[in-house]
Chain A
């Protein structure tokens, strides 16, 4: 199972590092990253394997959004099933 983590906000040094470190802390393994910066606006979609996640998923969602708040970023974490359901028959 995977989580889709979207990060948006003003660009600064170390955003990917911070999000990656938080994922590593709870054993979420990053499998894909798509990232772009458009006139100082940072946008990233990260796909992380959560099979070995060490905390409940809802807590993981909270930890990442707390991390975002601390850095002035909007971080949303969603289970991949919602995308699979909507876009695949």
Chain B
């Protein structure tokens, strides 16, 4: 029997502490769309996506109403386009991007992910063609997200691919300069990319996935933050317990929504992603959780330890609440999407180097970070290589989503509005990694014994 206290607690989490379901993402396989003719390919892609996800938005809204909890995003992820595009021309890939965008607009979804390539060991012609037109694809479309996996723990790091991505990021920033280089907010470079991630910009429908699937991402930094505040002066063991219990409750809602959506749409349930995903809204910040744990500011010494504990406790609580957990599952630390992170950068407490250290203990990586617009391609490649190697060595997912703010420097900021938020341009180390990066080739896969 439900009691009043539980009812009020849930209602308070939703109305006061920004508890929401961050996304219901439907994965759609595009394998059966393969065609030699690029126009036919686009036609089949459009038809398949709009047919499979026809009721996604409506179902999301119905669930929202039934349980009284906001479902912020309804999204679609598709098979990495380079795998279905095959040998079509670079222009053909731009056509596919526009087709995906058109499908997203027809469906009324927030984003569509999967303009992607997996090049951790080497590059097919198709993958090379796709990567070459990422800047055009992202500047011509509104809702398409792109990701490229450049490394895995088993294959090592493909430095040639990183060099191409450094170039793609620079060109994307220039092509979308009129909108604060927003194209780069839709482009992620991954190591050990998960195949069932519901969060953008890195979502795609992996090769081992079924025809269609429902993956759900939960949120709730505000709920965790409030629970810690209420706990007062407890020790860290007690704090970990509180975080676990809170994460359990948050994830249970995700599981409920995922099962319901799966049943209503007649699509198999994939996973619940346990990530704590912040938004720029006040009271919905991961940085504020760390500060609530006892740091004067996010970025202070102790931040990595606090984040490690938070991330671990969230996973422990969440795993028990869901039948299948996957995706990125960790605390997100994007700068522009988190009011506390923005404040920490602006007060000089949080540097790029500290953010990099933090990514060693949580997902997902250097995320939504604005760097000076004149940052060279080599330096961007160096940033990517550093972050990717953290993922490869630690057998975890890491990613880079940096925005070289075209025409802007340190002291200025970029503003995307909405969930993508606002980011102050951060100081970076200007010494050049050019020679290292330009060597190209692959960094071999790491050894997994003799751990130190």
- B66 x A4 contact (CB < 8 A): no
Stretch of B4-12, B99-107, B189-197, B404-412 on the interface side: B4-12
Whole-angstrom distance from the CB of A76 to the nearest CB of chain B? 6
A83-B66 Cα distance, complex, nearest whole Å: 12
- B66 x A79 contact (CB < 8 A): yes
B279 contacts the other chain (CB 8 A): no
- B6 x A87 contact (CB < 8 A): yes
A45 contacts the other chain (CB 8 A): yes
The secondary-structure label for the interface of chain B is helix
A39 contacts the other chain (CB 8 A): no
- A79 x B10 contact (CB < 8 A): no
Q: Which residues of B contact A61 (CB under 8 A)?
A: 65-66, 68
Q: Which residues of B contact A6 (CB under 8 A)?
A: 7, 11
B69 contacts the other chain (CB 8 A): yes
Whole-angstrom distance from the CB of A29 to the nearest CB of chain B? 16
Interface bits A55-84 vs B (CB < 8 Å: 1, else 0)? 001100110000000000000111111111
B431 contacts the other chain (CB 8 A): no
- B68 x A86 contact (CB < 8 A): no
- A87 x B65 contact (CB < 8 A): no
10 A-B pairs closest in CB distance: A78-B68, A87-B6, A82-B67, A58-B65, A85-B252, A85-B256, A86-B249, A83-B2, A79-B66, A86-B252
Q: Residues of A with Cβ closer than 8 Å to B?
A: 4, 6, 34, 45, 47, 57-58, 61-62, 76-87
Please name 28 pairs of A and B residues whose Cβ atoms are closer than 8 Å in the assembled complex, sorted by A: A4-B2, A4-B7, A6-B7, A6-B11, A34-B4, A45-B8, A47-B2, A57-B65, A58-B66, A61-B66, A61-B68, A77-B68, A79-B66, A79-B67, A80-B2, A81-B67, A82-B10, A83-B2, A83-B6, A83-B7, A83-B10, A84-B2, A85-B252, A85-B253, A85-B256, A86-B249, A87-B2, A87-B6
